[in-house]
C-alpha cells in the first residue's frame, strides 16, 4: 500500500512539473545537457590523446563548428520563414530549401574530399584521410540543419531537443567505443564518429520532400525576402566562423602541434559562455520574428537575453580568474596547466563576443543588417590582428580581446543611436 501511495505521489509531481515547466525551459535544459555532453566528449579526447594528438582532434572539431555555422544559414532561414509562411506556401518553401541544402552540401563535401591533401599540409595534420571521411558527412549536416530549422520556427522544442541529443550521444558513444575497442588511428576514429553522429542527428525527420511542380509557386516578393535574408545570414555566419574558429586554425598553422593542442584546451574551456549563450539565440529568433509579425514591441526580448548572457559571462570569467589551475586540472589534467594564466582572458574575449552576438541576431530577426556588417568588419579585424601579432599564445588571446571590446562598444553605440533616432521620429 505504501509503495502505491509513493507511486501516485511521483505521478502527481511529474504532472505538476509538466504543467509548470514551459517547452522553452525544457529546451534550454536539453541544450545544457547537450553542451555538457559535447564538453565531456572533448575533455575525454584531451585526456586520452594528450596535447599533441589533441591538436588533430581539435582541427576536426573546429571543422565541425565551421560546418555548423555554414549550415546554420539554412537553419535560421528555415526557422524565420516557418513563422512567416503558412500552409501550401510553407510546403513549397521548405521543399525548395531542402533541395538547395542537398546541392550545397554535396558541393562542399566533394570539395573537402578533393582538397584533403592540401588541407593536411595547411593544418599540419597526421593524415588526409580524416578530411575525406569528414567530407562524406557534410551533406548530412545541411539536411539536419534544415530539419532543425523547421522545428525551431514552429517552436517544436521537443523534436528540436531530440535532434541535438541523438547527435551528441551517438558521437560520444561511437567515438569512445572505437577508441577503446579497436586499434585505429585516433584522428580517423574521431572523423568516423562525427560522420556517424550526423546520421543520427537527422532523427526525427518527418518532412517529405515533394516535387516543386506539384506545389504552389512562391511569389516574387516572398522569393526576394528569402533571398535577401539568406544572403545576409550567410554573411553573418561567415563572420561567426572567422571570430569563433580562425584563432584555432591560425594557431595550428603558426605554432607547433604541442602548443596548438594546449591552445585548443584553452579555447574549449573559455568558450563555455558562448555555447551556453547559443541556447538563448535559438529562442530569440522565432520570438522576435513572431512579435514583429504581430506588430508588438521587441526591445524587451533583447534586454532580457543580453542580461542573461552578461550574467553568465561574468560568473564564468570570474571563476576562470579565481580558480584557473583548478579548472584546468579538473577538466584536462596536469599536462595543460601552462595555460592557466590565459584562461580568464580567453573567457573574457568569448564573453564579449557572446553579448555582442545577441545584438546582431536581434537585428537580423528584424531584417536590420548593419550590426551584421559590423560583426563582419571586426571578425576580419580579429583575424588580421592575429596574423600580424602571433609571437606567443598570450599575444593571440590579447588581440582577440582588443577586437571584441571594440565590437561590443560599436554594437552598443548602434543600438542607442538607433533607439534615439526612432524616439525622435516617433516624438
Tens digit of each residue's pLDDT (9 = 90 or more) over 146-176: 998 888 888 788 888 888 889 889 998 988 8
> Is 4 within a domain?
no
Q: Using CA atoms, how far apart are residues 265 and 105, in angstroms rounded to an integer? A: 29
Q: Could you tell me the pLDDT band of residue 215, with boundaries at 50, 70 and 90?
A: low
Highest mean pLDDT among 106-120, 272-286, 357-371: 106-120
> Is 11 within a domain?
no
Average pLDDT rounded to a whole number, residues 114-139: 88
Mean pLDDT score across all residues of the chain: 80
Alpha helices, DSSP H, located in 323-392: 324-331, 343-365, 370-388
> Is 235 within a domain?
yes
Please state which of the ranges 95-104, 257-266, 370-379 shows the lowest mean pLDDT: 257-266
Please state which of the ranges 110-119, 125-134, 187-196, 264-273 shows the lowest mean pLDDT: 264-273
pLDDT at 268 over 80: no
How far is the CA of 88 from the CAs of 130, 145, 189, 205, 218, in angstroms? Answer: 42, 21, 44, 19, 9
Top-confidence residue, 56 or 147? 147
> Is 14 within a domain?
no
Domain range for 130: 19-422
> Is 322 within a domain?
yes
> 3-state secondary structure string, 207-273?
CCCCCHHHCCCCCHHHHHHHHHHHHHHHHHHHHHHHHHHHHHHHHHHHCCHHHHHHHHHHHHHHCHH
pLDDT at 139 over 70: yes
pLDDT at 32 over 90: no
pLDDT of residue 3: 43
> Is 100 within a domain?
yes
pLDDT at 9 over 60: no
C-alpha cell at 116: 584533403
pLDDT of residue 11: 43
pLDDT of residue 14: 45
Average pLDDT rounded to a whole number, residues 171-186: 80
Q: Tell me whether residue 204 is exposed, middle or buried, using C-beta atoms within 10 angstroms of its C-beta: 0 to 12, 13 to 18, 19 or more.
A: middle
pLDDT at 426 over 80: no
Please state the pTM of the whole predicted model: 0.69
Please state which of the ranges 94-103, 126-135, 269-278 shows the lowest mean pLDDT: 269-278
Please state which of the ranges 33-42, 363-372, 416-425 shows the lowest mean pLDDT: 416-425
pLDDT of residue 110: 94
Q: Could you tell me the pLDDT band of residue 196, with boundaries at 50, 70 and 90?
A: very high
> Is 427 within a domain?
no
C-alpha cell at 386: 592575429
Specify the number of domains making up the chain.
1
Amino acid at each position: 500500500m505504501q509503495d502505491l501511495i509513493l507511486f501516485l505521489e511521483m505521478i502527481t509531481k511529474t504532472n505538476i512539473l509538466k504543467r509548470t515547466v514551459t517547452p522553452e525551459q525544457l529546451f534550454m535544459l536539453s541544450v545544457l545537457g547537450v553542451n555538457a555532453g559535447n564538453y565531456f566528449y572533448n575533455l575525454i579526447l584531451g585526456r586520452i590523446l594528450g596535447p599533441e594528438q589533441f591538436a588533430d582532434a581539435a582541427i576536426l572539431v573546429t571543422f565541425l563548428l565551421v560546418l555548423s555555422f555554414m549550415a546554420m544559414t539554412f537553419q535560421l532561414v528555415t526557422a524565420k520563414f516557418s513563422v512567416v509562411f503558412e500552409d501550401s506556401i510553407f510546403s513549397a518553401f521548405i521543399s525548395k530549401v531542402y533541395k538547395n541544402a542537398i546541392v550545397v552540401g554535396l558541393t562542399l563535401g566533394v570539395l573537402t574530399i578533393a582538397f584533403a591533401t592540401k588541407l593536411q599540409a595547411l593544418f599540419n595534420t597526421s593524415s588526409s584521410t580524416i578530411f575525406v571521411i569528414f567530407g562524406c558527412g557534410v551533406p548530412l549536416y545541411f539536411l539536419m540543419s534544415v530539419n532543425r530549422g523547421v522545428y525551431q520556427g514552429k517552436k517544436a522544442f521537443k523534436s528540436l531537443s531530440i535532434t541535438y541529443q541523438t547527435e551528441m550521444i551517438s558521437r560520444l558513444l561511437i567515438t569512445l567505443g572505437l577508441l577503446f575497442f579497436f586499434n585505429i588511428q585516433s584522428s580517423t576514429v574521431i572523423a568516423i564518429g562525427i560522420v556517424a553522429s550526423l546520421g543520427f542527428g537527422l532523427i526525427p525527420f518527418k518532412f517529405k520532400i515533394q516535387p516543386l511542380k506539384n506545389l504552389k509557386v512562391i511569389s516574387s516578393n516572398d522569393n526576394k525576402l528569402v533571398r535577401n535574408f539568406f544572403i545576409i545570414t550567410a554573411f553573418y555566419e561567415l563572420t561567426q566562423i572567422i571570430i569563433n574558429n580562425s584563432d584555432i586554425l591560425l594557431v595550428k598553422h603558426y605554432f607547433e602541434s604541442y602548443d596548438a593542442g594546449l591552445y585548443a584546451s584553452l579555447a574549449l574551456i573559455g568558450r563555455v559562455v558562448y555555447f551556453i549563450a547559443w541556447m538563448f539565440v535559438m529562442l530569440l529568433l522565432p520570438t522576435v520574428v513572431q512579435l514583429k509579425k504581430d506588430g508588438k514591441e521587441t526591445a524587451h526580448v533583447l534586454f532580457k537575453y543580453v542580461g542573461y548572457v552578461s550574467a553568465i559571462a561574468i560568473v564564468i570569467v570570474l571563476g576562470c580568474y579565481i580558480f584557473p589551475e583548478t579548472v584546468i586540472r579538473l577538466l584536462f589534467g596536469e599536462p595543460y596547466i601552462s595555460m592557466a594564466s590565459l584562461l580568464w582572458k580567453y573567457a573574457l574575449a568569448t564573453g564579449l563576443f557572446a553579448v555582442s552576438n545577441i545584438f546582431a541576431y536581434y537585428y537580423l530577426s528584424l531584417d536590420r543588417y548593419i550590426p551584421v556588417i559590423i560583426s563582419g568588419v571586426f571578425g576580419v579585424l580579429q583575424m588580421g590582428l592575429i596574423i600580424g601579432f602571433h609571437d606567443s599564445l598570450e599575444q593571440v588571446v590579447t588581440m582577440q580581446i582588443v577586437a571584441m571590446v571594440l565590437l561590443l562598444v560599436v554594437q552598443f553605440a548602434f543600438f542607442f543611436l538607433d533607439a534615439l533616432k526612432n524616439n525622435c521620429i516617433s516624438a
